Structure 1
Amino acid sequence: MASEVTYESVRDESEELSLMCDDDLTVYDRIQERCEREIGRADELIAAIRNAGVGDRVAGWVTRCMEQYQLIGSGMGQLKQHTYAQDEAVVKAKKLLEAGQGVYAGIAADMESVAERPFYVGDAVDAEDTAANTEIFETTGA
């Protein structure tokens, strides 16, 4: 069953989403640090393999692993950029929601004052209303 969407629920969800973005950025930083650490280890290991004369095949394996860490590390930059943009969009939307809520609160107050009036301005009888029975309607040609 769907829950009721209210101003408070949307505000709470936006705050939760902002916190999730912050958590994601922390995780991305940890992954980036891990990638950099593993790339450094791979460089050292490749140098040790070549010095030991183990062979190019083993060095190739380590190089491919290092390239994967480099690929993951470069992807973290894009993820961070998109997460920053998402967080900024959430903050902006929340500000717009709060500003809009103020506008709607003003409109609601106006509507309440209108509802309390004994009559509406539009209810007044004008000359057009009193002359409606004498209007001539012309048919248009085909």
Structure 2
Amino acid sequence: MAAEVSYESVEEESDELSLMCEDDLVVYDRIGKRCQREISRGDSLLVAMEAVGFGPKVMGWVTRGKEQYGVIDSQLAELKSNTKAQGEAVVKAKALLVAGQGLYADIAKDMESVADRDVYISDAVDAEDTSAHTEVYETRGA
């Protein structure tokens, strides 16, 4: 079943989308900090493992894990950029909606004032219109 779309529902949705974008950016920052922390811990672990004499296979696992955190961190930058752009687009669209609604509200108000008048443009046919076919036209210079 389709939801009813109204000016108010679109306005509420745009507010919710803006809040969601802001919340997402906070989460991305938190994930990014976690990635940086895990990369740093991986570096420390690799140094400690090398000092103890762990083999390349185990150190490779840590290195790959560290690289994966690096990939996630680098992808977050693009995700944050896209989310920020989406949030800005929502704000811009809402501003256009509000501006358009104001424009149409003014037009509607004007139309209501026209409807309140007794006479605007009469659709009534007057005698001149009904007798036009019987009129006699004289030629010039006759």
Q: TM-score range by the shorter chain?
A: 0.7 to 0.9
2:54 partner SS: coil
**Gaps spanning 5+ residues in structure 1: where?**
135-142
Distance in 1, Cα, partners of 2:85 & 2:47: 40
Runs of 4+ that moved beyond 3 A: 117-125, 129-134
Cross-structure match for 1:17? 17
- Aligned Cα root-mean-square deviation (Å): 2.2
AA matched with 1:47? V
Distance in 2, Cα, partners of 1:131 & 1:49: 109
1:71 partner SS: helix
Give how far 1:122 is off: 7.4
**Superimposed CA distance per residue, residues 51-91 of structure 1 (whole angstroms, 9 cap, x where no aligned partner):** 11111111111110000000000111111111110110011
2:4 partner SS: coil
**Gaps spanning 5+ residues in structure 2: where?**
135-142
AA matched with 1:62? V
Distance in 2, Cα, partners of 1:64 & 1:132: 94
Distance in 2, Cα, partners of 1:71 & 1:132: 85
Change (3 A) 1:122 1:71: farther
AA matched with 1:39? I
Distance in 1, Cα, partners of 2:84 & 2:12: 19
Cross-structure match for 2:84? 84
Cross-structure match for 1:58? 58
% identical equivalent positions = 63
Cross-structure match for 1:137? none
AA matched with 1:105? A
Distance in 1, Cα, partners of 2:26 & 2:16: 15
Distance in 2, Cα, partners of 1:133 & 1:15: 64
My pick for the range that moved more, 48-57 or 59-68, is 48-57
Give how far 1:10 is off: 0.8
Give how far 1:108 is off: 0.6
TM-score by length of 2: 0.83
Cross-structure match for 1:34? 34
1:2 partner SS: coil
Give how far 1:117 is off: 3.5
AA matched with 2:76? M
Give how far 1:18 is off: 0.7
AA matched with 1:116? D
TM-score by length of 1: 0.83
Give how far 1:132 is off: 8.1
